[in-house]
Chain A
Amino acid sequence: MNKFLNEIGKKRKKLSLLKKFDIQVFDKIKRKKLEKKIEFTIVALLIVFISMILILPDKNIKQEPIIAKEKIKKIDVPVLDEIYFGTSDEKNTYSIEFVSLDDEDDGI
């Protein structure tokens, strides 16, 4: 078998590449270099963009509490002479009813 392989190996037609092969390889290398440059630029730009998002303060978030403060109106409702029922959110509704206290309980 080895003899056969040796013989057939010797008979094996040796292929040779043309001169344009080298040019094609260098062209591919050039193209790949360009691709790598583009890739690097895109990655660098993405990093800058992401870090800008993370580092720069978000204006919308800072403005939100001011707007919220403006919206909240405190309403004071007199309950007794010196006691007030206070609400801090006008969205809620409260009903206030008169309560009559018995004379017996008055001394608590």
Chain B
Amino acid sequence: MDNEIIGKLKNKDKEAFEIVMDKYKNSIYNYLYSILGDIDLAEELTQETFVRVYFKAKHLKTDNLRSWIYKIATNLARSEFRKQKIRRFMPIHDMKNEKEISVNYDNIDKISIEELLKKIPEKYRTPLVMKELENFTYEEISKILKKPIGTVKSLIFRGKDMLKEIVKGVKNE
């Protein structure tokens, strides 16, 4: 089915594009929300993802449409992280916001996964979300992130470790 859709997408077929958008928009939205932790930004980048899907489909070389769309979304999220990193060095009032992010949790069950994930550096968060929440294989993650499989595995392992520590800390609070 993907091959047929990809062919039509390459020809900028509106119907095919709508089918693809319907199929993936909510999962991309949830994925971006998991790694960004910002609902508005996630929606904005989901829109941008599909705009890029429309214009870049003619250059699509893979059969794995899902991976390709996630790759676009991941690249957009990463450039957003880079922008935020630059911004963080500039205004002083942003440092206050950093402190406000650390929330006091009463009960682990009340915490959303996004809140926990926010505490892990992006480097580990993205592959962890891809593996555990989006169910990508190591090979797919390695292709999307352009990193060797070994590196991906160790990033996920360290990400899980960090998450474990955070959960422990929250339980002790």
Q: Which residues of A contact B30 (CB under 8 A)?
A: 12, 14-15
Q: Which residues of B contact A1 (CB under 8 A)?
A: 160, 163-164
Chain B: interface residue count, which band?
A: 20 to 34
Q: Indicate whether B122 reaches chain A with its CB closer than 8 angstroms.
A: no
Q: Indicate whether A16 reaches chain B with its CB closer than 8 angstroms.
A: yes
Produce 1/0 per residue, A65-80, CB < 8 A to B: 0000000000000000
Produce 1/0 per residue, B23-56, CB < 8 A to A: 0011001100110000100110011101100110
In the assembled complex, the Cα of A17 lies from the Cα of B47 at a distance in Å of 10
Q: Name the prevailing secondary structure of the B interface residues.
A: helix
Which residue of chain B is the closest to A18 with respect to CB atoms?
B43
In the assembled complex, the Cα of A8 lies from the Cα of B68 at a distance in Å of 27
Q: Which residues of A contact B33 (CB under 8 A)?
A: 15
Q: Which residues of A contact B113 (CB under 8 A)?
A: 5, 8-9, 11-12
Q: Which residues of B contact A102 (CB under 8 A)?
A: none
| Given A1-B164, A28-B47, CB of A16 within 8 Å of CB of B26 | yes
Q: Indicate whether A25 reaches chain B with its CB closer than 8 angstroms.
A: yes
Interface residues of A in 2-23 (CB under 8 A from B): 2, 4-6, 8-9, 11-17, 21-22
Contact for B55 among A12, A22, A32, CB less than 8 A: A32
Count A-side interface residues using an 8 Å CB cutoff.
21
CB of A5 within 8 A of CB of B132, answer yes
In the assembled complex, the Cα of A27 lies from the Cα of B39 at a distance in Å of 21
Q: Indicate whether A29 reaches chain B with its CB closer than 8 angstroms.
A: yes
Which residue of chain A is the closest to B163 with respect to CB atoms?
A1
Contact for B26 among A8, A11, A14, CB less than 8 A: A14
In the assembled complex, the Cα of A24 lies from the Cα of B44 at a distance in Å of 10
Q: Indicate whether B94 reaches chain A with its CB closer than 8 angstroms.
A: no
CB of B112 within 8 A of CB of A21, answer no
In the assembled complex, the Cα of A4 lies from the Cα of B116 at a distance in Å of 12
Q: Indicate whether B139 reaches chain A with its CB closer than 8 angstroms.
A: no
B166 to chain A, nearest CB (A): 11
Listed by A's residue number, 16 A-B pairs whose Cβ atoms lie within 8 Å are: A1-B160, A1-B163, A2-B160, A4-B167, A9-B113, A9-B132, A9-B133, A13-B112, A14-B26, A15-B26, A15-B29, A15-B42, A17-B29, A17-B43, A21-B25, A21-B43
Residues of A within 8 A of B (CB): 1-2, 4-6, 8-9, 11-17, 21-22, 24-25, 28-29, 32
Q: Which 5 A-B pairs have the closest CB atoms?
A: A5-B132, A8-B113, A28-B51, A25-B50, A12-B113
